[in-house]
Structure 1
Amino acid sequence: MRAVLKFGGSSVQNLDLMKEVAQTIIEKKNTYNELVVVLSAMGKTTNSLIKMAKDITKYPNKRDVDLLISTGEVVSIALLSIMLNDMGYKSIALTGEKAGILTKGTHTKNKISSIDTRRVEAHIQAGNIVIVAGFQGFNEAGEVTTLGRGGSDTTAIALAAKLGAICEIYTDVSGIYGVDPRIYPDAQKLTQIDYEEMKEMAFLGANIMEPRSIDIAQNYGVTVYVTSLKNPLEGTYIKEYKQNMEDKKITGIAVTEKVVMVSIRRIPYSTKITAELFKDLALNEVNIDVINQNPSVGGTINIAFTAHADDLDAVNEVLDKFEAKNPTIQVLKVNEVVKVSIVGSAMRSQSGIAAEVFELFAENDLEVKLVTTSEISISYTFDNKYKNKVVEVLAKHFNV
């Protein structure tokens, strides 16, 4: 039986913690005779490397950034492999390229196109614990690439899919909760959650998993177990699971604090101009969330949208060009914004949930800025100061 184990940066931020990871891997050998381990960079290494690049220039070359930040995972896998070998367990460290992870797309935000696992399989058959650098791969030009936020999750689940393995993700919290327990201490932990709901929660800001990784898990039927090093037996399974649609209106609440809201006023009323703006944002790999468009005076329109704050440089780069082409517009960026989303498959069959939530907000004097919906979620944007109150009101009402 085989498994892919993934450990995040906080689990390997120093050698003492890395020893705990090594011990967990050794214990897992009693359950799984074939192991592949995926690691992130140690602690805040990636952020530190990006900061150094930006200390040089506002918009560093993305190809060079990929080469730079990929080194963080290389350090992690080399140290862990040295440690395991020293403890008497055969181990080998592989970069994303050596593990056969081929990618395509834009530098710093590549996507996995295929994985050639022949080398990984050979090392498994030779009795090695195979340690793979998460977050990275290589493109058809042979260049080092990285996978963007949460890329190590994607690496781990994609390898599990290709190797026919279960995937265990080790995080700071012991499983997946209906809402982040750091915001709402009375949050209930889920024993299992369906792929669709997990993907929606991840996309909307629940920081446990990366949405693309859940897509892969769903498409290839990979069972994912999310847990922590401290409480490994108290985790949450992500898998195909259909509860009674009438049992619970809301499965979870996702909170995104790192949100930037952009308002652009007096844009010339032209579909072509609007299309150009959002096309450039897409080409810069900016994931736009809430969009609101309103008519203004004098044949112009106002547009507001939200994006992840990590994409602010990419947003600014597009807006600088957009302002240069349209000098009459006004751009306002607000960083003190939080997005709170309710998620539940029951929304497909139960009506009135949106009205119920708006009544809650009205009763508690909570003013909404923007709203967007999907088939199984509703997202609301607020000033940051309302975050805790919004979460508490929703969590108590829906018992999550």
Structure 2
Amino acid sequence: MLNALGIINVIENDQVLGEVSESRPFAAVPIDGRYRIIDFPLSNMVNAGIKSVGIFTHYKMGSLIAHLKNGREWNLDTKRRGLFFLSPDFSKYIFSPNKWDISHFTSRLGYIQSSTRKYVLISGCNMICNIDYHKVRDFHEERGADITIVCKRISPEERKKFEPCLLMDVNEDQQVHQFKAANEQSMDHEHLCLDMFFLSRDLLLEIIDECAKQNKWDLVQDGFIRNSRNLKVVAYPFTGYLAKINSISNYFNHHMDLLNLDVWRELFYQAGPILTKAKDSAPTRYTKDSSVHNSLVSNDCIIAGEIENSVIFRSIKADRGSVIKNSVILPKCTIEEGVELEYAILDKGVHITKGKTIKGSKEHPVVIRKNDQL
């Protein structure tokens, strides 16, 4: 078991996903057939044996709280520890869109101070991966590090899909000796910060206190980067599958990645299972007219049409004669007879009436808003 306190900071820019995040917080956006984005960082922590996880929330959190509830599906429904929703005191606090703003941490300081855990594991919410945090802890202790930052080595060609991002220069001993601005160019491979930080609880409290006293308000820039000359900061190299959900295009492409069986197996089972809220519903029913190729189809659907290279969420009805290709269909959508969909993202509850054709492109998939009828 990891002797660590977990913090998941879900304060993300909801606008990056446009229509998909209009009616829900970023962390509660449906993903991968039957999951929510929050399931990945939360499951990674639980799989490492972390028994106390705090969720830094802000506003529009109803659907996230309804999804997580008391944390029972993640075995966090305990009396002494468990899952905590840490909302700020809005009477004393002006919301900052910077998720690493020190004020987010000072307004929830009691959660950190009251813990008896030796370490703190801090994670953002928009990196989709399956990581073994036991290895991060071992790496941290073996190198006598003050702060360990999880990173991934990427090529200049891969960089675009992760921007905006924080890049690092790392030496042969995996020690971080320079941080790069997102607009700096490089011809060589670079180390991408995955917004996952491992350090002692005492050091985190010291950094927060020091930043607040000096009127410095960015935990990463002012707390970690500015102190990197005085502290030993190392980079743990993550080598597995990684997706950053920071645009509709990346959201769509990530779902297409899942149609690769090797990617699917790694993402959901490599270091431990990805857990989610259980919904006891019927298996999907396929009629004799249905045709499904290279697709991920969730339960409680009725499929009578043709589906190819698509991810289908729960409770979808696809009538006879409908054709769905290269698309992502979120829960409770209805696709009537003769409908053709290609490179489309349908949000929850969309109803496409008979004979309609909706086509986008791989670079610019069409997005249909929640509960729309066309």
TM > 0.5 between the two?
no
TM-score bucket of the superposed structures, by smaller chain: under 0.3
Q: TM-score, normalised by structure 2?
A: 0.28
Higher RCO, Cα 8 Å, sep 6+: 2
More helix by share: 1
More strand by share: 1
